[in-house]
Amino acid sequence: MVDAAINHTAVEVKAPEGRPSDYFGKKVFSRAAMRKYLNKATYDALIDTMQNGTPLTRELADGIAAGMRQWALENGADHYTHWFQPLTGGTAEKHDGFVNPDGSGGVLEEFSGKLLVQQEPDASSFPNGGIRNTFEARGYSAWDPASPAFIVDTTLCIPTVFIAYTGEALDYKVPLLRSLTAVGQAATEVCRYFDKNVQRVTCFLGWEQEYFLVDESLWAGRPDLMLTGRTLMGHESAKNQQLEDHYFGAIPTRVMAFMKDLEYECLMLGIPVKTRHNEVAPNQFELAPVYEEANLANDHNQLLMTIMDKIARRHRFRVLLHEKPFKGINGSGKHNNWSLGTDTGVNLLSPGKTASENLQFITFLVNAITAVYKYNGLLKASIMSATNAHRLGANEAPPAIISTFLGTQVSAVLDKLAASKGDDAIRFDAKNVFKMSGISHIPTLLLDNTDRNRTSPFAFTGNRFEFRAVGSSDNCAEAMIVLNAAIAHELTLFKEQVDAKIEAGAKKEKAIYEVLKQMIKSCTAVRFDGNGYSDEWKAEAKKRCLDCESSTPLVFDRYLDKAAQQMFAATGVFNEVELEARAEVKWETYTKKIQIEGRVLGDLAMNHIVPIASKYEAMLLDKVFKMTQINRGLNTAPDIELIKKIQDHTAEIQRLTGEMIEARKKANPIEQARAKAIAYHDTVEIFFEEIRRHIDKLEEIVDDQMWPLPKYRELLFLR
Ligand code: ADP
Ligand code: MG
């Protein structure tokens, strides 16, 4: 019924002029633009800052600002903004015009180094976990020269960090940058065992963004989608993803027009988008760029999420980044492909050609999985949220357990190494193990790629790790901060142990082997190559003492564990105040999201569903009454059955909604953020599924013409 109202025709998109290589980065103050708009000395200094973190002087900043302004004005910008990533999960911007009175009745376009480098957003209302009390509400945004400025619409956006007056991080970028420094330094030190020429190690991130699209007019008819990002009710469509006909299927024309538009915009903004395809669920899609340095990659993902939303609207769609917008079909994730590379061009997570290169590879691999083992609970906390909880440990989702999959070849190498005795290991040549007998003509890379496990939350995929449990709406930084900090810490401990052995007289290689052997043996619990979705794994993981907690507020406790605090302090990524503030924000955000869902569910149940069901019930009653009035032996039994069912379900909805409201009333006065979040988890959220079940039953009974909400079958099948 509703479907008839949808306009399925694609929005006309003007094809971009030229090839992607012509317009790539057109809206970015890229190196090419810098070279053109800055003088040589300023350009060199800026590159030095970007690459080596050398501080910029105010004069240089003035020179850069002048060049940037010139470029921005020539490219249609009239405003500028510091663009930052507060703990809301989104991005924040406050636009200022370039114009300034010139003192004689006119205006001039102005932009100084001071405005470029630092601003003071009047932003006392961002989540801060108590770090900034309103009487000391000052926060600073400060330019991050490592991520180039760009233009969106007519605004020059300057990527910045966001810190409190007292120095604590209030955003995702500060700790991300700290963690990247930590892992870069620790990894460089370890690399020097193998190659003295290594000066710098860079962390790379390649994200894959999954999302749903729904028609805008249908979306507007679903207050739950509008206000919570997911459907809080809705009976399963008769046809879902059973036929597996959506994944990699032909992309609907209307969606294709959207994708082309989005890709064009991304390329203009310097986001190297590469892959697009249909995902498993109906209306679900994926977009992935080529991986980049992690800080830039993360800015690009944040930017992508914003422009996706904007372009979707242009195409009369709404993009859903929620991890589980629809019950009963796949949810959306954001795989984070992670690796480390040296300035000598070596991917440290890629098997090499020589025994020495392979020892280096194994060193980094083992350090990574040891970190994942030691901080598996914390890694889970880094990706846990009210929304991602639907993918982690809830119904129809993998369990909330972090394990790692290495594949048969790599597993065999590690097991062989751990089992080797004496000098054995030194003769051990990993090169042979990477070849598989009989099919040696197939390049190693192909072999690696076929050995995949799609159920592992943290899988080794041949030349990188893929952290798959990250949520589709997450800021990737959160996961990357924990991962990089933990690995940095592990690499430092590893080096201390190796150095101690060398000092005690051991040869370097032997010392490395010995320490690795020990590490491999102690982290076996985290290695799991089987089906991560199975119930057996849940039981097995518990035996292995992996973190199996699935209550979201309790998972956040991991940030405040002694070991986590020490690790974050040692790597300089978070101090105690910052950690407490972050946990506080997580609990608060959780509570608010559940509170909003509870309210929306209650409103919909009482104002939309129950009245309509009652109306239909009244119609049936009227019918039955008239049937008995004419007294011709008509069969009223089936209708009476239906009436009873409607009565039962509406009565239950009313009762449960009332109880849920009572539970909220009890939870609301709780002052402590953690206790309140727990109350919301344990006493409020538990009603959602039950209430929904009754509503979904009514959806099956009530006249389709009367049903007040667009149904799954209408929402989910774009043509
Ligand atoms: P799949 O869906 O099979 O995992 P995709 O091609 O969709 O593969 O995505 C793979 C992602 O991994 C891309 O973003 C790609 O750029 C990224 N990637 C590839 N190699 C590396 C690497 N060494 N480090 C980080 N990311 C990488
Ligand atoms: Mg992937």
pLDDT digit string, tens, across residues 594-626 = 999 999 999 999 999 999 999 999 999 999 999
Centre of ligand 2 from the C-alpha of residue 665, in Å: 43
The confidence score (pLDDT) of residue 2 equals 55
Is the CB of residue 202 below 6 angstroms from any atom belonging to ligand 1?
A: no
Q: Mean pLDDT, to the nearest integer, of 9-25?
A: 87
| Residue 105 neighbours by CB distance under 10 Å | 6
As a whole number of angstroms, the distance between CA 141 and CA 173 comes to 11
The confidence score (pLDDT) of residue 678 equals 98
More confident residue, 532 or 587: 587
Strand-pairing partners, residue 204, are 293, 339
Is the CB of residue 204 below 6 angstroms from any atom belonging to ligand 1?
A: yes
Instruction: Check: CB of residue 585 under 8 Å from CB of residue 427.
Output: no
As a whole number of angstroms, the distance between CA 352 and CA 462 comes to 11
Is the CB of residue 275 below 6 angstroms from any atom belonging to ligand 1?
A: yes
By residue count, the chain amounts to: 719
Angle (CA) 481-85-50 rounded to 5° is 70
Range name among 19-28, 298-307, 406-415, 695-704 with the lowest pLDDT average: 406-415
Residue 688 confidence (pLDDT) above 70: yes
Average pLDDT, the chain: 90
Alpha-helical runs (H) found in 28-172: 31-37, 40-52, 58-74, 113-117
Q: Considering every ligand atom, which ligand is closest to the CA of 458?
A: 2
As a whole number of angstroms, the distance between CA 717 and CA 714 comes to 6
Instruction: Check: CB of residue 719 under 8 Å from CB of residue 227.
Output: no
| Residue 611 neighbours by CB distance under 10 Å | 12
Of all protein residues, the one whose alpha carbon is nearest to atom 11 of ligand 1 is: 206
Centre of ligand 1 from the C-alpha of residue 633, in Å: 70
Tens of pLDDT along 377-400? 999 999 999 999 999 987 777 789
As a whole number of angstroms, the distance between CA 345 and CA 198 comes to 9
Tens of pLDDT along 152-182? 999 999 999 999 888 889 999 999 999 999 9
Q: Mean pLDDT, to the nearest integer, of 314-342?
A: 96
Q: Mean pLDDT, to the nearest integer, of 464-486?
A: 97
Q: Mean pLDDT, to the nearest integer, of 229-257?
A: 82
Strand-pairing partners, residue 365, are none
The confidence score (pLDDT) of residue 122 equals 61
Range name among 399-413, 430-444, 499-513, 625-639 with the lowest pLDDT average: 430-444
Q: Mean pLDDT, to the nearest integer, of 21-26?
A: 94
As a whole number of angstroms, the distance between CA 233 and CA 608 comes to 12
Q: How far is CA 658 from the centre of its chain?
A: 35
Which residues line ion ligand 2, judged by CB < 5 Å?
208, 335
Is the CB of residue 405 below 6 angstroms from any atom belonging to ligand 1?
A: no
Q: Give the CATH architecture of domain 28-74+78-171.
A: Roll (3.10)
Cα dist. 686→49, 185, 274, 650, 664 in Å? Answer: 52, 46, 41, 18, 12
Q: Give the CATH architecture of domain 180-574.
A: 2-Layer Sandwich (3.30)
Is the CB of residue 339 below 6 angstroms from any atom belonging to ligand 1?
A: yes
Is the CB of residue 292 below 6 angstroms from any atom belonging to ligand 1?
A: no
Choose one of 209, 266, 276, 291 to mutate for the ligand 1 pocket test, by most ligand atoms within 8 angstroms of C-beta.
Answer: 291
Residue 363 confidence (pLDDT) above 70: yes
As a whole number of angstroms, the distance between CA 402 and CA 546 comes to 8
Centre of ligand 1 from the C-alpha of residue 341, in Å: 14
Alpha-helical runs (H) found in 195-293: 216-219, 223-228, 253-268
The confidence score (pLDDT) of residue 278 equals 84
Closest alpha carbon to 470 in 371, 333, 373: 333
Residue 648 confidence (pLDDT) above 60: yes
Tens of pLDDT along 114-146? 999 988 876 567 788 777 554 556 788 899 999
Is the CB of residue 291 below 6 angstroms from any atom belonging to ligand 1?
A: yes
The confidence score (pLDDT) of residue 132 equals 58
More confident residue, 110 or 590: 590
pTM of the model: 0.94
Q: Considering every ligand atom, which ligand is closest to the CA of 465?
A: 1
Is the CB of residue 575 below 6 angstroms from any atom belonging to ligand 1?
A: no
CATH class as words, domain 586-715: mainly alpha
Is the CB of residue 459 below 6 angstroms from any atom belonging to ligand 1?
A: no
Q: How is the chain split into domains, by residue range?
A: 28-74+78-171, 180-574, 586-715
Range name among 1-10, 246-255, 488-497, 692-701 with the lowest pLDDT average: 1-10
